[in-house]
Amino acid sequence: MGAKSAYKGLVALAAAQTASAGLLDSGIFKFFDTVTRDVVIVGGGAAGSHAAIRLKEDHGKSVVLIEREDILGGHVDTYYDPKANGAVREYGVQCYFPYEDAMDFIDRFNLTVAPGLGPRGATTPKYVDFQSGKELNGYVPPDFGAQIGGIVEFYNVLTSKGYDKMVEPGFWNLPTGPNIPEDLLLPIGEFAKKYNVSTALPRMYESTGGGPASQQDDFLNIMTLTFLQSFSPSWMKVFFTDIGYYHIEGGNQQLYNKIAARLGNDVMTNTVVLMSERTSTGVTLLVSGLKGTKIIKAKKLLMAIPPTRENLVPFDLNAEETAIFAKPKYGRYGTALVSHPSLPKGTDLMNLPASAVADPWSPFLDLPHILSFSSYGNDTDLFSIGTSGNPYLLYGQLASTGVAQVALQKMALQGTIPALKGKLIEVVEWSDHGPGGFGVTAQDMRNGWMDKMYGLQGKRSTWYTGNAIAIDFSTTLWKMNDEVIKRMLASW
């Protein structure tokens, strides 16, 4: 999404400094402008943007929202195609589905929601093994009805055992470590076998790219609890049409543009945190961005960024926090809009392992991979891709573009697509979708990692929300926020 912030280097600079209590109120720091608010929110994706509006408009709290990119929205990636009169091309968040009353949030911005995904022209699939570049002649997709039937059965297992209540919207009701049902700690492949719901997996895999959490391991090895973050019980209901799904007319980004407008000067985009001092009575942050370097003083801090070790460098972690955040292992997910003259307009090139011809029920790919080159229709040369790889720091735009380029070269060599004629893939926009999922092991969970993580809520005036510690969909995150905000207000 958008241009990347120019301030990443400053984070490293801040890391070199050791904050000590009161430092930000002394020395040269005291000459910076001070912004005073009830709550400072870091991260302007679905979670942080929603929280800012709810706190400000519904709970009368003064807020400031810090976002490192130049626009709000996080994983929302709407491209307005200049070659097609600004036509909307969604290549990140595609849709919103009802979770409790969460869709009401969109209503307050006077936007029109329409059923289905965002606009895309008609396309036909072509199944290709990107490893060899060969088209998979003879591949027949698994029976659609059996896949949906599997999702229904999967959902029934979760609800009959009460697992849905333990995971949505956040993990507040998850039993403590040793009491977490072992089912939820099984690898997803074993869980599906145990309950005879394996026919659900291909559709679940395809619709989420294996789930952002699959960057950590082979798909079938992902812990069920982690998998449910990106394929939640409420999202399952969409597949058997119990509930609908909707996009915002004019682009999903419209919501976040309206939020930014409503927040006005309470948003600081292109801004990062350089240092922090957090105590039980409030927080002080040193932030820097296009509007200059400022001190922010607030009673509460809401962290709405993925709590990766890289993101947490500027925060004055204590030993307890350091131990908790040292545990997760994460890969990286990215989406992009790409084009190349050899990519066939109107065709979706779907990546499958060669073995899928013999076993279409096992379409799972090794890492790193590009899941597909998905066309926006016959009248545009734009394609979207979703890509997973690890480790986190190495699998950024450069590495994933390399994987896409190699896939194109192999397809061209095999005659699956026309010759590339020396032309490289053009990345029109690339969007970092970060780690996704909390990324800890089943043993960490049994040892109480989630209890400790949720136990941090409110300590040192700091609260946590976002997709790393809850179900990873916009509407569920908004309900997760409502719970966090309720608890935050109770602690005032």
Please enumerate in sequence order all residues whose Cβ is within 8 A of that of 55, keeping only pairs 6 or more positions apart, or say none. Answer: 38, 39, 41, 61, 63, 485
Looking at beta carbons only, is 180 or 304 nearer to ligand FAD? 304
Run of H or E residues at 252:
none
Choose the binding region for ligand FAD from 135-143, 217-225, 343-351, 471-479 (rule: CB under 6 A). Answer: 471-479
**CA–CA separation, 251 and 89 (whole Å):** 8
- Is residue 114 within 8 A of residue 95, CB to CB? The reply is no
Looking at beta carbons only, is 64 or 93 nearer to ligand FAD? 93
Looking at beta carbons only, is 75 or 294 nearer to ligand FAD? 75
Determine, following the binding rule CB under 6 A, whether residue 474 of this chain makes contact with ligand FAD: yes
Residues of this chain, 45-74, that bind ligand FAD according to CB under 6 A: 45-48, 66-69, 74
Choose the binding region for ligand FAD from 39-47, 144-152, 288-296, 364-372 (rule: CB under 6 A). Answer: 39-47
Write each residue from 207 to 226 as x if it is in contact with ligand FAD (CB under 6 A), else as -, in one continuous string: -----x--------------
The secondary structure of residue 316, as a DSSP letter, is -
Determine, following the binding rule CB under 6 A, whether residue 434 of this chain makes contact with ligand FAD: yes
Looking at beta carbons only, is 7 or 163 nearer to ligand FAD? 7
Q: Where are the alpha helices (DSSP H) in 161-266?
A: 163-167, 182-185, 188-194, 201-208, 224-230, 233-239, 253-263
- Is residue 128 within 8 A of residue 348, CB to CB? The reply is no
Choose the binding region for ligand FAD from 81-89, 94-102, 194-202, 319-327 (rule: CB under 6 A). Answer: 94-102
| Size of residue set near ligand FAD by CB under 6 A | 35
Determine, following the binding rule CB under 6 A, whether residue 170 of this chain makes contact with ligand FAD: no
Largest CA distance in the chain: 72
**CA–CA separation, 458 and 484 (whole Å):** 9
Among 75, 258, 278, 300, binds ligand FAD (CB under 6 A): 75
Determine, following the binding rule CB under 6 A, whether residue 473 of this chain makes contact with ligand FAD: yes
Determine, following the binding rule CB under 6 A, whether residue 43 of this chain makes contact with ligand FAD: yes
Measured CA to CA in angstroms, residue 34 lies from 39, 293, 337 at distances of 14, 9, 40
**CA–CA separation, 442 and 216 (whole Å):** 13
The secondary structure of residue 220, as a DSSP letter, is G
Please enumerate in sequence order all residues whose Cβ is within 8 A of that of 111, keeping only pairs 6 or more positions apart, or say none. Answer: 248, 249, 250, 254, 255, 258
Closest CA to 488 of 459, 451, 467: 459
Looking at beta carbons only, is 253 or 311 nearer to ligand FAD? 311
* Minimum CB distance to ligand FAD, residue 70 (Å): 10
Looking at beta carbons only, is 224 or 467 nearer to ligand FAD? 467
* Minimum CB distance to ligand FAD, residue 431 (Å): 8
Please enumerate in sequence order all residues whose Cβ is within 8 A of that of 248, keeping only pairs 6 or more positions apart, or say none. Answer: 96, 106, 111, 112, 113, 114, 254, 255
* Minimum CB distance to ligand FAD, residue 74 (Å): 2
**CA–CA separation, 275 and 225 (whole Å):** 34
Looking at beta carbons only, is 372 or 380 nearer to ligand FAD? 372
Q: Where are the alpha helices (DSSP H) in 267-392?
A: 309-312, 319-325
Determine, following the binding rule CB under 6 A, whether residue 94 of this chain makes contact with ligand FAD: yes
Determine, following the binding rule CB under 6 A, whether residue 288 of this chain makes contact with ligand FAD: no
Looking at beta carbons only, is 157 or 450 nearer to ligand FAD? 450
Residues of this chain, 298-317, that bind ligand FAD according to CB under 6 A: 304-305, 311
Determine, following the binding rule CB under 6 A, whether residue 328 of this chain makes contact with ligand FAD: no
Looking at beta carbons only, is 374 or 461 nearer to ligand FAD? 374
Write the burial class of residue 282 (CB in 10 Å: 0-12 exposed, 13-18 middle, 19+ buried): middle
* Minimum CB distance to ligand FAD, residue 434 (Å): 5
Backbone φ, ψ for residue 397 (5° rounding): -60, -45
Looking at beta carbons only, is 133 or 307 nearer to ligand FAD? 307
Determine, following the binding rule CB under 6 A, whether residue 363 of this chain makes contact with ligand FAD: no
Looking at beta carbons only, is 357 or 428 nearer to ligand FAD? 428
How many other β-carbons are positioned within 10 Å of the β-carbon of residue 490?
8
Residues interacting with ligand FAD, by CB under 6 A? 42-48, 66-69, 74-75, 92-96, 212, 272, 304-305, 311, 333, 335, 386, 433-434, 436, 466-467, 472-474, 477
